[in-house]
Chains A and B, each alone.
Chain A
């Protein structure tokens, strides 16, 4: 027999009271957990959507005021006499403060070429980066492997009458069309993609880059911040963030997060009051019992330990139950609130740990004064009340 046995036995003795207190705390916690989990899951969902969306930062030469038209930049009549970027920008992008959020850096060289009697826009790319960036691309044929392998847009292939595996001549340079893009509905359908070095040779832009697309993981780092960091690292470049669509949604989620934390604070106060009142009631009911404990030699700390252990157990059970309830609620609500068709519920151990710890702390803090009162109870007073 240890003092904690008394706490456990007392909890078993009043199962209804402890059950309702546990449920009350658990429901409060569940609401907060559901909101936080929803907010986190929706953020992750949007981040995933953005990753699938492709690049979200564009780097172009600052002096270029021509209307380019690639990835949101208008190329107009193919005016390629603008200033180019130095390849060193790639390393500088990878060295920004939020470099861990830089997922893909995809440099490009643009230039006009003649294929047969037709003008075609040639895009020199790093195929490894480009294929990771454009996950929606479907290739008819194989991925480019050789230095003269190319990917041809579906519309261009149709106009030129070229099939995968055939060769084409672009301004005097021969390329093998390793694959033809299935129709994307974008400008990619009209382009000829070749390795970066080959494009630099064809266009006479050796050691130059026309633009860089950057895919940034926006978790924990607003894209605008990253764009600012890149702009600071590249003073001669123009850095644009594709953020308008996402930003509003992220702001809404941020508000949801703030609301859930605010609600959490209110629920914490209500929970503390609930635990405090229940514990005070319990102490008054058990005055005789506590008086006996004190009379037979229990120290203040022993009695406090019994009361706080009871509160801690209630907090632990409430925390575990509340977290699971909150997860269940979030799982039900997420499909109704998320943007993508298949949102994933984010089960985070740190949220579980924080939730259980928070309820236990709230419970213990609320029980502290009643426990102290019980621990300091004068046994003679208790005996007189018997």
Chain B
């Protein structure tokens, strides 16, 4: 379960500051699929990075299953991200010189697992997103939809408790977007907690709950 309390985030802007989040209280239950929606500049991506343990808030707190996220030190936070979170980014952000399988294995690289086990986990994850047989392809040899699937496989390969997605269909056509959102729906049906940021209202229908942000506040 994710709980935020009076979450505040300021960014420096010139000699002053701009408030991206202005006291966000939020609860996401385990197994829930939540879409955070809002216009550009509403603070939704900032909220996602704070929930994902990548950006210290200026105020307030984030608890994940009882752990105060930002009480952890840098390495503790990195370990927590590795164990607990999966991330899907808007532009896929696959490592261009690694094959699909190697990209999916990336989150497993620092873990003390046998190479064969890592390989097997990555192959399973690719199979789950329908990319069996394309393990050896470089990202440049995959379509946009396939790259997104690899990114999703990479996000779920370590079976994270929470999957964060930031505009996962932002670079896809509508048909491919539907396929990708279908994948998220399947993951959710298998019990995956998903927090997705999107500005596409069509994506909201796949979620159980939609949270609207405006000017750094939950509406």
Contacts and interface: CB of A to CB of B under 8 A. Distances in A.
B127 interface: no
A345 to B, nearest CB: 42
Contacts of B97: 9-10, 12-13
Interface string B70-108: 000011001111110111011101011110001001111
Given A1-B108, A386-B89, A6 B95 contact: yes
Interface SS, B side? helix
Contacts, number: 90
A296 B102 contact: no
B216 to A, nearest CB: 16
Contacts of A299: 74-75, 78-79, 110
B14 to A, nearest CB: 17
B76 to A, nearest CB: 9
Nearest to B109: A1
B118 interface: yes
A300 interface: yes
Nearest to B9: A380
B154 interface: yes
B52 interface: yes
Contacts of A294: 54, 78
B171 to A, nearest CB: 11
A320 to B, nearest CB: 25
Interface residues of A, number: 28
Given A295-B81, A297-B81, A299-B78, A3 B49 contact: no
A254 interface: no
B142 interface: no
Contact of B89 (A6, A292, A376, A378): A292
A298 interface: yes
B27 interface: no
Interface string B136-166: 0000000000000000001000000000001
B115 interface: yes
Contact of A296 (B87, B90, B118): B87
A300 B76 CA distance: 11
Interface string B5-39: 00000000000000000000000000000000000
Nearest to B113: A1
Nearest to A301: B75
Interface in B104-141: 105-110, 115, 118-119, 122
Nearest to A300: B74
A296 B151 CA distance: 12
B68 interface: no
User: Looking at chain B, what size class is its interface with the partner chain?
Assistant: 35 or more
B162 to A, nearest CB: 13
Interface in B150-189: 154, 166
Given A10-B97, A13-B97, A297-B78, A5 B55 contact: no
Contact of A380 (B49, B85, B95, B98): B49
B110 A383 contact: no
A288 interface: yes
B74 A296 contact: no
Contacts of B109: 1-3, 5-6, 298, 302
Contacts of B105: 1
A296 B81 contact: yes
Contacts of A3: 109-110
A163 to B, nearest CB: 84
Contacts of B79: 297, 299
A297 B82 contact: yes
B169 to A, nearest CB: 16
Interface of A: 1-3, 5-6, 9-10, 12-13, 288-289, 292-302, 376, 378-380, 383, 386
Given A9-B102, A13-B96, A300-B78, 5 more contacts: A289-B93, A294-B54, A296-B87, A296-B107, A300-B74
Interface of B: 45, 49, 52, 54-55, 74-75, 78-83, 85-87, 89-91, 93, 95-98, 102, 105-110, 115, 118-119, 122, 154, 166
28 contacts: A1-B105, A1-B108, A5-B102, A6-B95, A6-B106, A9-B102, A289-B93, A292-B95, A292-B106, A293-B106, A296-B85, A296-B106, A297-B78, A297-B80, A297-B81, A297-B83, A297-B85, A298-B109, A298-B110, A299-B78, A299-B79, A300-B75, A302-B109, A378-B54, A378-B55, A380-B55, A386-B89, A386-B91
